[in-house]
Amino acid sequence: MDFRGAHILSVKQFERSDVDRIFEVADTMIPYARREKITKALQGAILGNMFFEPSTRTRVSFGCSFNLMGGQVRETTDVKTSSISKGESLYDTARVISGYSDVIVMRHPQVGSVSEFAKASRVPVINGGDGPNEHPSQALLDLYTIKKELLSNNRQIDGMHIAVIGDLKHGRTVHSLSQVLSLYDNITFKLISPAELKMPAEIVSELKDAGHKVIETEDMEAGLNDIDTVYLTRIQEERFTTKLEADIYRGRFRLNQSIYTRYCQPNTVIMHPLPRDSREEANELDNDLNQHPSLAIFRQTDNGVLVRMALFALVLDVAEKVDDTARDVGWYTQGRF
C-alpha cells in the first residue's frame, strides 16, 4: 500500500509486505526510542490525540512517539468536555480537528466510528480502537513482539502455534491480531474462551479460509499444550450491560507459574495487551510470572513506541528523513533498556 497520507483503520488493509515495511521502519526508530539520539523529523507537526474511551498505554505511547520525532501533541480525552457532548457529529468534529492537526489518532466506543470520522478528515487518521471492533496499532506491536521473541529462540511466525485466551468476543486486540496473523502461513490458533465469549464466527471463517488451523475450546490446560505463544486478555467489562454479567466470566482462565510449568513448553512466549486485571477475582496473568524471561508484556509496551513512530513516519512520509536531523542526547539515559 501507499502509506503517504493514508488512514490506518483496519489490519485488513495490509498485505504482508506492508507489515514488513512497518517493521523495517520500526527498527530504525530504536536509537530514538532508547534515548540514544534525538530527531526533529516532525518538528512543527501537530498530533490530534482524541480518546473518547479510557486509555493509558495507547494514548501515552502515541503521544510519546510523536514527541520523540519532534512533533507536538494536543489531547482530547473526555466526551464530557468535548463538543461531542453537545450533539456534534463525527463529520463536523473531523472537519474541525483536521484543520488543527497534521495527523489524528482516535479511540471511540462505537464500531466503525473511526472510519466514519476519517472520511471527513483532511489529514491521516489512525484507529486507536473502535469499540469491540479493531485495534490495528496494537496488533502490529503484538506481531512485531512475537516476531522478535520467536527469533530470539530461532523460531518464526510461519507455522507458529498460538493460544489466545479470554474474552475473544469483545476483545478488539485479539480480533486485529488474529486477522493480521492470517497474512502468514500455516498458523495454528487455539482459541480458548467461555462458550458465550467466542471469537466472532466471521473471523474464525476468515482464518480457516486462509488455510490456518483453528481449534476452539473451553479447556485451557489442553489448549496450552504444544504452543509457541500464549496471548491472554481481560474480560472486557465495559462491553457488558452490567458488571454482574462480566463477573460470571472473571477468573475463569488464569495463567500462573505452576500452570505454565505444568502445561506450557519451556520458552512459550507470554503476552497480554494490558491492562491485566490483577484483582483477586480475575488475575488472569499472575504476578508470580513477573520475573519470567518469557514474559513479554513489557517488551510489548516498549515495542509499541517503535511501531507507532513507524506509522507516523510512513503516513507523514518522513521515514527516510529521520536520521537527517539526528544528534546525540545530552541527558542521563542509562539503565532503562
Chain contacts with ligand NCD (rule: CB under 6 A) = 57-58, 129, 135, 138, 172-173, 233-234, 236, 273-275
Kind plus residue range of the DSSP H or E element containing 188: strand 188-192
Measured from the CB atom, is 71 or 136 closer to ligand NCD? 136
Q: Which is nearer to ligand NCD, 168 or 207 (CB)?
A: 168
CB of 274 to ligand NCD, least distance (A): 5
Q: Cβ 289 to ligand NCD, closest distance in Å? A: 18
Residue with Cβ nearer ligand NCD (155 or 198): 198
CA distance 59 to 220: 32
Q: Indicate the residue among 48 and 136 with the shorter CB distance to ligand NCD.
A: 136
Minimum distance of ligand NCD from residue 233's CB (angstroms): 6
Q: Residue 47 burial (CB < 10 Å; 0-12/13-18/19+)?
A: buried
Contact 157, 183 (CB under 8 A): no
Q: What is the DSSP string of 152-195?
A: TTT--STT-EEEEES-TTT-HHHHHHHHHHTTSSS-EEEEE--G
How wide is the angle at C-alpha 116 spanned by C-alphas 93 and 57, nearest 5°? 75
Classify burial at 188, counting beta carbons within 10 Å of its beta carbon; exposed 0-12, middle 13-18, buried 19 or more.
middle
CB 297 within 8 A of CB 272: yes
Q: How far is the CB of 186 from ligand NCD (least distance, A)?
A: 27
C-alpha distances in angstroms, 208 versus 99, 173, 179, 181, 228? 43, 19, 11, 12, 20
Q: Which residue has the cell 524471561?
A: 293
Task: Pick between residue 19 and residue 246 the one whose CB is nearest to ligand NCD.
Answer: 246
Cell 472486557 locates to 236
Minimum Å distance from CB 173 to ligand NCD?
5
Q: Cβ of residue 172: shortest distance to ligand NCD, in angstroms? A: 5
Q: Smaller CB distance to ligand NCD: residue 57 or 95?
A: 57
Q: How far apart are CA 50 and CA 61, in angstroms?
A: 13
- Which CB sits closer to ligand NCD, 68 or 105? 105
CB 310 within 8 A of CB 22: yes
What minimum distance in Å lies between the beta carbon of 329 and ligand NCD?
27
The span from the CA of 80 to the CA of 12, in Å, is: 32
